[in-house]
Amino acid sequence: MLPWDTQAVAGLTLGADPLISAVTVVSAYENRFVSGIIVRKTPKGHGTNAYLEGKKLPPQAKVVVLEDVVTTGKSALFAVEQLQAVGYQVSEILAIVDRQQGGKERYQQQGIPFRALFSIDEIQESAHSS
């Protein structure tokens, strides 16, 4: 689902960590090297005092934010803000599940494309039909 020109995937720790790790490993196997960036909730209290951990990318690098579950959208939007603050271009937000509680609308208001693999309605419908 990543656009071909994606240079990195990023997301707020801890929920996005396994997603970022998986994408970077698979990208290496596919010879399409996509970097991973972990966004901290608060800056590290020593060293660089940075919100972002990962390879430093060139300005305007195209980054996709990954989320496990989107509810209100605040977590991914915080990650977007931190990435944009250092000059990266966030091309979209991808999630596994959209709980349909305002996140998609929040991203639309910010002009950020959003896609989810599943909606909560689809998951609930599948659970009830089994």
Predicted structure pTM score: 0.95
Q: How far apart are CA 10 and CA 66, in angstroms?
A: 6
The CATH number assigned to the domain with range 8-129 reads: 3.40.50.2020
Give mean pLDDT, residues 42-58.
Answer: 89
Closest CA to 90 of 82, 100, 101: 82
Give mean pLDDT, residues 107-130.
Answer: 96
Phi-psi region of 57 (alpha: psi -120 to 50; beta: other; left: phi over 0): beta
Q: How far apart are CA 8 and CA 91, in angstroms?
A: 10
Give mean pLDDT, residues 23-47.
Answer: 93
The answer, yes or no, to whether the previous bond of 14 is cis (omega within 30 of 0) is yes
- Map out the domains of the chain as residue ranges: 8-129
